[in-house]
């Protein structure tokens, strides 16, 4: 900072000034947490894992009335969704190459 200039954080409260300088005492891992803290993120992940496990077990336990023989395969719908999203991603990449404009297209 140049001589004679005021520190912009000097008008802030001590807690706000510490947070502005990164000295708030939070763990470095919490900085990248989606829900504020890593423990909240872990709780949400564990709940999602539990839901996935119940769905996986339920697919083997619950009888489904299927319209096509391949629907009777265990875990048909998750596999179908996975293959579909992979096809979608590669289709989007190919379509991007087809319709992409040059970088300076709108500069004229």
Ranges of H-type helices in the chain: 14-20, 38-61, 76-99
Burial class (CB in 10 A: 0-12, 13-18, 19+), 46: exposed
Tell me if 103 sits within 8 A of 95, measured CB to CB. no
Token pair 């939070």 is found at: 26
Q: How many CB atoms lie within 10 A of CB 59?
A: 14
The tens digit of pLDDT for each residue in 41-74 reads: 899 999 999 998 998 888 888 888 888 888 888 8
- pLDDT per position as a tens digit, 1-39: 555 555 554 555 555 555 555 544 455 556 777 778 888
């Amino acid at each position: 900072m140049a001589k004679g200039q005021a520190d912009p954080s000097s008008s802030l409260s001590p807690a706000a000034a510490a947070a502005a300088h990164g000295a708030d005492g939070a763990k470095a891992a919490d900085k990248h947490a989606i829900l504020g803290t890593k423990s909240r993120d872990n709780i949400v992940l564990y709940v999602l894992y539990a839901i996935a496990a119940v769905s996986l077990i339920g697919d083997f336990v619950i009888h489904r009335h299927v319209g096509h023989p391949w629907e009777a395969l265990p875990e048909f719908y998750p596999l179908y969704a996975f293959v579909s999203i992979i096809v979608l991603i590669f289709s989007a990449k190919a379509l991007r190459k087809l319709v992409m404009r040059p970088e300076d297209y709108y500069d004229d």
